[in-house]
Structure 1
Amino acid sequence: MGNDDKCILVTGGAGFIGSHTVELLLASGYSVRVLDNFSSGHIDNLPQHEHLDIVQGDIRDQEQVNAVMQGATHCLHLAAQVSVSRSVEDPCDSATHNILGALNVMHAAAQAKVSKLVYASSAAVYGAPSQLPLTEASALAPLSPYGLEKWVDERYAALLASLHGLPSLGLRYFNVYGPRQDPRSPYAGVVARFIDRMLAHQAPIIFGDGTQSRDFIYVGDVARANLTALFSTHCGICNVATGQQIDLLDLIDLLSRSTGCTLPAQHLPAKAEDIRHSYGDPHRLAEWLSLTPQWTMDEGLGELIHHCRQTMTDDERPPLTVNA
């Protein structure tokens, strides 16, 4: 079976991670079907391509999910409510997306007997780590409904593997950044928010003292992991991480050099659901998927800053005399 004989269903394919993965799948010769409700994804993120079919719909609609799953040989499930803070504010709504919606996709994939289901989990399942780096065997103690929902998804995937023989691989993404991450969205990551403010010559905002650290991984490396996972024989759970950490103050120093904005950060109180330090062990990523992240932090930030500058409107551009 060649690449053109495979049809990949990507839920949430118009989103940040999804659109990068769709582009890579198409470039690799696969046919792709996207299911997206466009609540946070954008149609403009997707290319016009003869092997791309776009369906507007919602993973919470079981009949629609069953319909789009028909004919799919593989499924990449990325559609989700991805804001940690929103899951805290409205856990019931978050669970309809991240548990019931995910279960619709998993059950439909099992019934359609897809060759492989790959789904987005998160480093949020670990909670506040007692030991670093985090391995797939580390204790799980999520601090937010979002993290708990992703843990429940992992348990459902394991159960459906036992009940129906559904081959699945859950990818625990760490802090993904890159182009198309909307900095104005409540779903935006800290990198996009910092860059958005600094390009407008506004002080970046930090919740807490800024010494908290994260494992940032570029979206291009995540797209490669998604594609490889779809055709891997491995099932279970895998971290998608670099194995390196950087604190937010050092991140702002890097961005200051790239954006020219040297305003000191504005500090606000830390959020209760925020984790102090986190970075992942990428050994399984290398062993199972033969992948090591290719993008350095400098390279990835450069791509994101270039993208942000290209998409700024004239009203958003700061006057040229700001730093004079």
Structure 2
Amino acid sequence: MINDKIEKLQGKTILITGAAGFIGSNLCEFLSNHHITVRGIDNFATGHRKNIQNLKAHKNFEFIQGDICNLKDCQSACQGVDFVLHQAALGSVPRSIEDPIRTNDANINGFLNMLVASKDQGVQRFVYAASSSTYGDSKSLPKVEQNIGKPLSPYAITKYVNELYADNFKRIYDLDSVGLRYFNVFGRKQDPNGAYAAVIPKFVIQLMKHQSPVINGDGTYSRDFTYIDNVIQMNILAITTDHEDALNQVYNTAVGDRTTILEMANLLKTYLSEFDSKIADIKIKHGPNRKGDVPHSLASIEKAQKYLGYQPSHKFKEGLQEAIKWYWKHY
């Protein structure tokens, strides 16, 4: 199905912000491998050069080292571009709590710069990374796009503001957009290191080093863990849809299933022990709950199925096994 959609992108130019990051670099690689003209921009605040190193051999890939907080960089990057896949942001709830100003600068001011540049340069469609954190303190499950609560962190606030700005730019400037509310994305190229590393790659590397991972709380918090290939699919569907009603909407980008943190950690032990039997005996530890964390996250994907034709290619366990193989090979 995705290959049929890719045909529509032949002859088009796609700008990917945050191109050296986890999701951005996967999008760059996927599109470049399908012979689509791709331009990437990144300031390497959280991205890594190694993530795009192999793309230098692609004649249809161009990279700009620039900052979305600089409007001139955004204007330059958007010149001659048909579609924007905006992935650049400062992620992590804990980071936003420790440094709300930097988070705001990148996630709101940078986002606004990209919208303005897209409008000024005649971009056809602006697809952006929204977040499941927007659901905030809403207790209803599964999460349905139109029902949100109060945000629980500065990061969540910035991602909700993105949605408001995108809607505003359609009303005022007629810039079409699609927001994708990502639910705990994981997979190849996700950075396992640093203070704000996501839980799956962090735990994988700790277990590979025979260290005990520490779960925040009792492990009963649950997540709709979403493998990177599902996210790639949603981005492709969003930029290629001809369905008028599908535009200027936000969509949950998830699997529609949930796994507790403790279940996830035990699955990691099981799958990794196939490579190293000692991992099966490593104890899992528990620490205090983390401020700003949403207790439970489970997406309804009905809207994405209806308007975009989305069908997740990977359930959680399938994606986890693929991710583990990648980390075992590369770390």
Relative to the length of structure 2, the TM-score reads 0.91
Q: Is 1:307 aligned to residue 326 of structure 2? A: yes
Give the number of aligned pairs: 312
Does structure 1 residue 267 correspond to structure 2 residue 286?
yes
Matched, 1:27 2:33: yes
Instruction: Answer yes or no: is the 8 Å Cα contact 1:216–1:245 preserved in 2.
Output: yes
Give the secondary structure class of the aligned counterpart of 1:142: coil
Structural mapping, 1:45-56, within 5 Å: 45-46=51-52, 47-48=55-56, 49-56=58-65
Cα distance in 2, alignment partners of residues 132 and 124 from structure 1: 14
Equivalence for 1:214? 223
The reply on whether 1:14 has 2:9 as its aligned counterpart is no
Please tell me the residue identity of whatever aligns with 1:225.
M
SS of the residue aligned with 2:146? Answer: coil
Alpha-carbon separation, structure 2, partners of 1:292 and 1:188: 28
Distance in 2 of aligned mates of 1:301 and 1:205 = 19
CA distance in 2, matches of 1:182, 1:225: 22
Distance in 2, matches of 1:34 and 1:250, equals: 37
Alpha-carbon separation, structure 2, partners of 1:53 and 1:66:
16
Matched with 2:256 is 243
Counterpart Cα distance in 2 of 1:76 and 1:190: 25
CA positional deviation for 1:298: 2.4
* Segments ≥4 residues shifted beyond 4 Å: none
- The Cα offsets for residues 180-200 of structure 1, whole Å up to 9 and x where unpaired, read as 111113342111111111111
Picking from 243, 249, 256, the partner of 2:269 is 256
Question: Gapped runs of 5+ residues in structure 1?
Answer: 313-324
Sort the Cα spacing of 1:2 and 1:181 in 2 relative to 1 into closer, same or farther, 3 A: closer
Q: Does structure 2 conserve the Cα–Cα contact (< 8 Å) formed by 1:80 and 1:97? A: yes
- Give the Cα separation in 2 of the matches to 1:258 and 1:243: 22
Q: Is the 8 A contact 1:182 1:192 kept in 2?
A: yes
Q: Which residue, 163, 178, 187 being the options, matches 1:154?
A: 163
| Counterpart-to-counterpart distance in 2, 1:243 and 1:3 | 28
Quick check: 1:129–1:277 contact (8 Å CA) kept in 2?
no
Matches of 2:149 and 2:51, distance apart in 1: 34
TM-fit CA distance, 1:129:
2.5
Give the superposition deviation at 1:111: 1.4
Supply the AA of the counterpart residue of 2:313.
Q
Tell me how far 1:296 sits from its aligned partner. Answer: 2.4
Report the Cα distance in structure 2 between the residues aligned to 1:90 and 1:266, rounded to whole angstroms.
28
Letter in 1 for 2:301: P
**Deviation at residue 115 of structure 1 after TM alignment:** 1.1
Q: Is 1:170 matched up with 2:189?
A: no
Equivalent pair of 1:174/1:240 in contact (CA under 8 Å): yes
What is the root-mean-square deviation in Å for CA atoms of aligned residues? 1.3
Superposed counterparts of 1:9-158, under 5 Å: 9-46=15-52, 47-48=55-56, 49-158=58-167
Q: Note if 1:287 corresponds to 2:306.
A: yes
Percent of aligned pairs with the same residue?
Answer: 37
